[in-house]
Amino acid sequence: MQSGSGQRSGGAGRGDGLQVLVVQSHPLLASEIAKILDSAPDITICGIARTGAEAASVAARNRAAVVVIDFNLPDMSGPAAAAMIRAKSPDVAIVFHSAEESEDALLDAIDACATAYLTKSATGDQIIEAVRRASAGEVMIPIALFAKALARQRTAVHEKLAREKLLAIFTPRELGVLRLLAEGHDTANLSSRLGIAPHTVEWHVRHVIEKLNVHSKLQAVIAAERLGLIEL
């Protein structure tokens, strides 16, 4: 087995097989993952790296075919490290092995061109299978988590479109009135700040309330914040 420094450790003397780099900051976990992979007759550990920067250099130098990488590293995120690795080694396959089980983490991994995403509950056989399939260009992503991620992404897109549509019905002046209302200004202060007559302020406020389909200034502020029109 070869460390990031290029020195061999005890049990892995073979230089053939699928070359795999393990990127994990925790020494014991890194050693365990390497041991699991090295037990497969067709897999050879070509290095162990502790940081993203080290991983990019080791992967290129040792010509890794697959990188098994944690989502969180001491110097950067796993996806950022994956981007650095692929910049130097475009053909390398990326397998994430992480405690992160959120939809955001999965989408970030996919954006980083991951071919597999494993949680820390993955068995040794699953890790070996993921590496083999990744080397063959196959994708191994948790279907349930992926479905949730896509649903969340679709919801975010729909909310963004709805917000943009809603924004289009407000004039810049009305949005300015909303922001000042959120800061706690009364009609007199609004009039002074905006340089318009009090009755004009009330006219804008009335229109804002009608467009948000609420009944008071406070409700207008709350609704505007929930819809993303303003920030409190």
Decide which of 143, 173, 208 is a domain's last residue: 143
Range of the domain at 60: 18-143
Q: 33 burial class (0-12, 13-18, 19+ CB within 10 angstroms)?
A: buried
pLDDT digits (tens, 9 = 90+) for 10-60: 333 445 789 999 999 999 999 999 999 999 999 999 999 999 999 999 999
For residue 12, is it within any domain? no
Residue 143 to residue 129: CA distance in whole angstroms: 16
Q: What percent of the chain has pLDDT over 90?
A: 45
| Statement to judge: residues 170 and 63 lie in one domain | no
For residue 8, is it within any domain? no
| Statement to judge: residues 124 and 197 lie in one domain | no
pLDDT digits (tens, 9 = 90+) for 104-114: 777 777 777 78
pTM to 2 decimals? 0.58
Q: Cα dist. 222→108, 130, 184, 217, 218 in Å?
A: 32, 48, 12, 9, 6
Decide which of 143, 170, 193 is a domain's last residue: 143
User: Left if phi > 0, otherwise alpha if psi is -120 to 50, otherwise beta: which for 163?
Assistant: alpha
Q: At residue 144, does pLDDT exceed 60? A: no
Give the CATH number for residue 46: 3.40.50.2300
Q: How many domains does the chain have?
A: 2
Q: Are 47 and 21 in contact (CB under 8 A)?
A: yes
pLDDT digits (tens, 9 = 90+) for 34-47: 999 999 999 999 99
| Statement to judge: residues 130 and 179 lie in one domain | no
The sign of the CA dihedral 91, 92, 93, 99 is negative
3-state DSSP call for residue 23?
A: strand
